[in-house]
Amino acid sequence: MADKMPDSEASVKELMRQIEELKLKHEKQTRLLEEEQSKTRKTTFVEFLDACHNFLQGALSVQTDKSMTTQGSPANATKKLRPERIRHWTNFPAEQRAIWDDIMRSSMVSGRHFKSLLGVQDSGQDFKERRPLSSELDLHHFQRTAIETPVSSIIHQMFKDVDVREQFKLKGSVEFENHSNTLVRDSPLVPETPEPQSTYPRPDQFCVHNTGAKSTEAAYIMEYKAPHKLTLNYIVEGLRDLEKMELEDVVFTRARESFSDTLRRLIAAVITQAFSYMIKMGSEYGCVCTGEAYIFLRVFDDPETVYYHLSVPKVDAEDSEGKIEYEEVLSTVRKEKDTSEYKPSRNGGYQRTRRFSLRKRPLSSSNCKEPEVLPEASDDEPDADTPSRTSLQPRSRGTGSRSNGRSSHNNAKGNEYCTQKCLLGLIGDGLLDQSCPNAQHHGETHHQISQSSFLHLIRQQLSRDLDNNCKPVCRPGATGVLFRVRLEPLGYTVAAKASPAWYVDRLKLESTIYEHLRSLQGIYVPVHLGNVDLPVPYMYEGICDLVHMLFMGYGGETISKAFTDEDIPFLNKHIDRAAGAIHKLGVLHKDLVPRNILWNEETGRVMVIDFERSEIVAQRPALAIKDTNRKSKRQHVPDAEADAGLSKIRTQTSVFENERNRAVRELYTLRRRLV
């Protein structure tokens, strides 16, 4: 019996060992399962930021073989407005910490709202498998995935928290937009006369908008620079001691200067590029981005000084104090030889700013000295984006979204548009429309001014102030930007379409068409009040100067927004009536599509807009009669002439019918696309 005890104890021990092994195995499997689940489930705010840094920012690599990279200088400050001083933004870390503290107190932080770890990791892996960044285009692709998309999703969640929304004045979403193809010249319709070089944003300049359903506001500008052209140690060396100097001492070349002097001039030129765009945008904030580094910029009350803060993500993530030590940064990057292609201009090529205040909207050109036209440099040309070993296809040029009278009717006090009936009285018999929300400012029973007086007064007002009572209400279209304009103190609030110099002829043509359709104004087309040349050009978001305005009544909402699929038959009848009335007066719209057809609640009809491409065709000729009865006393038309007349009628009828049919087809297509 005693001999069996050891065997029994051994069996128990073996059993306990097996149980322990199974327990450990189970724990391991559970842990692995949890790890897998953690990769596929939604992430928290902190987890998402950590994943973006590790898998997206960590996937960034830069091409070092110059034969495989784009060529060209990273800086062209010729013809740019420049500050007098570049200073260190010393309070940036403290301001950033305060913002983070506010965000971390929000309800968004604890929830799982963001892309899974596996999803972020897959995006980063895609970048790792691609070639290293070798062009500005590569940088754009990287930024879209690593920065723009994550930031957009974070802002979307922040907007849901009412306290955060109000604190940061969020409108709903954030959009990163490049305006290099906005309001571009359309060569076939532009006079051949050469014009001075424009100040268009290049393809590496972006504006970040705080965007809502009814309004949009420029938040800051971004200037992208390829990291192989503007290397990290170039930036660090160029910023060293820059704040201790006046820019006047930096921008001009000297007979003998060190490589450090050249780099300071390079960085000064890069910052000047962004600064110039900020000033033209009226933006307080800006940023120069290479992917490896971010130079955050701010212009306070003094526009002669721009403040900078250098952020290097791979260093910042390990630095709780938020301070960048230049020596530490330099120790983490490769040493570069003097291979910069930057060749500074002998005369500097800069233009100084005059004193003015930054505003929410683009600054008037009267506030700062405009650059002289220097034929040897073009601001329209981006940094060269063609690899030295091959050539890329030309960039395609988009037309942008068209807009005219499409903004939502803002019911805030003082922002209501005048009614069509009110404006018909202004251009006609002078009777007031008592239902107009602004009637109390217009007079008692009759308008106090005439149509010509309105144009004279609005022009005077715009010569004094382009900020108040003159607000852009939507994205620029192909040829212009829509504004809400209010004439004070008479309260006339109307829509206005503004265009750059190269599209003035388009707006004048549109004005001619509206006048031709005068009998339909307030019924099937908005009331047209006239056009004026702006005494002071309106610099729109750094894109171009708007110099001409067309004033009209508020048309309404686009039919695609105002109705559903069930309403299409109803809409088709209204479109058919409106198009028929316009065609009856001999006008061929040439772009009769849903975006140019509005629903007007006041009239209960559709209104057609955007006649900038339209044509007044010959009035329908009288029906000719073939000369088949020579003995008849009636005057007959020769057979050939009669046939020509009939052919012309058929052609015009066919063209008009095709235009109406296209509008209907486009409406069905649009609704299917939106559903």
448 confidence band (pLDDT: 50, 70, 90): very high
**Cis preceding linkage at 489, omega within 30:** yes
| Calpha distance 187→194 (Å, rounded) | 12
pLDDT (mean) for 623-630: 46
Q: Is the pLDDT assigned to residue 352 strictly greater than 70?
A: no
Residue 289: what pLDDT? 93
The more confidently predicted of residues 198 and 225 is 225
- Region 420-554: CATH code: 3.30.200.20
**Inter-axis angle of helices 232-239 and 259-281, nearest 10:** 90
The more confidently predicted of residues 348 and 72 is 72
pLDDT (mean) for 350-367: 40
Select, from the ranges 170-179, 272-281, 393-402, the one with the highest average predicted confidence (pLDDT): 272-281
Q: Is the pLDDT assigned to residue 48 strictly greater than 60?
A: yes
Q: Which of 146-155, 349-358, 593-602 has the lowest mean pLDDT?
A: 349-358
The more confidently predicted of residues 7 and 514 is 514
pLDDT (mean) for 572-600: 92
Residue 347: what pLDDT? 41
pLDDT (mean) for 636-665: 65
User: Beta partners for 70?
Assistant: 387
Select, from the ranges 75-84, 353-362, 590-599, the one with the highest average predicted confidence (pLDDT): 590-599
Contact 454, 447 (CB under 8 A): no
The more confidently predicted of residues 517 and 207 is 517
Could you give the 3-state DSSP secondary structure of residue 307?
Answer: strand
Instruction: Give the rounded percent of residues in the chain with a pLDDT score beyond 70.
Output: 71
35 confidence band (pLDDT: 50, 70, 90): confident
| Calpha distance 13→35 (Å, rounded) | 32
- Which amino acid type is present at position 435? S
Residue 290: what pLDDT? 93
User: If you average pLDDT over every residue of the chain, what do you get?
Assistant: 77
Q: Which of 67-81, 479-493, 636-650, 657-671 has the lowest mean pLDDT?
A: 636-650
Note the pLDDT tens digit of each residue in 421-433: 999 999 998 899 9
Q: Is the pLDDT assigned to residue 52 strictly greater than 70?
A: yes
541 confidence band (pLDDT: 50, 70, 90): confident
Q: Is the pLDDT assigned to residue 333 strictly greater than 70?
A: no
Three-class DSSP labels, 37-49: HHHHCCECHHHHH
Residue 260: what pLDDT? 82
Note the pLDDT tens digit of each residue in 80-137: 677 888 999 999 999 999 999 999 988 889 899 999 999 998 888 887 777 788 888 8
Instruction: Give the rounded percent of residues in the chain with a pLDDT score beyond 90.
Output: 36
Judge if pTM exceeds 0.75.
no
462 confidence band (pLDDT: 50, 70, 90): very high
Q: Which of 306-320, 401-415, 629-643 has the lowest mean pLDDT?
A: 401-415
The more confidently predicted of residues 139 and 533 is 533
Contact 218, 283 (CB under 8 A): yes
485 confidence band (pLDDT: 50, 70, 90): very high
pLDDT (mean) for 233-246: 84
Across the beta sheet with 470-472, the strand order is 470-472, 481-487, 492-500, 544-552, 528-540
Residue 316: what pLDDT? 80
| Calpha distance 490→484 (Å, rounded) | 15
DSSP string, 369-438: PPPP--TT--TTSPSP--BTTS-PPPPP-------SS-S----STT-PPPPHHHHHHHHTT-B--TTSTT
Q: Which candidate, 340, 372, 346, places its Cα nearest to that of 251?
A: 346
Q: Which of 56-65, 281-290, 447-456, 644-653 has the lowest mean pLDDT?
A: 644-653
452 confidence band (pLDDT: 50, 70, 90): very high
Q: List the domain boundaries for the chain.
A: 45-184+203-367, 420-554, 577-674
33 confidence band (pLDDT: 50, 70, 90): confident
Residue 614: what pLDDT? 93
User: Beta partners for 81?
Assistant: 351
CA dihedral 467, 407, 218, 469 (to 10 degrees): 10
Q: Which candidate, 611, 560, 620, places its Cα nearest to that of 590?
A: 611
Residue 68: what pLDDT? 64
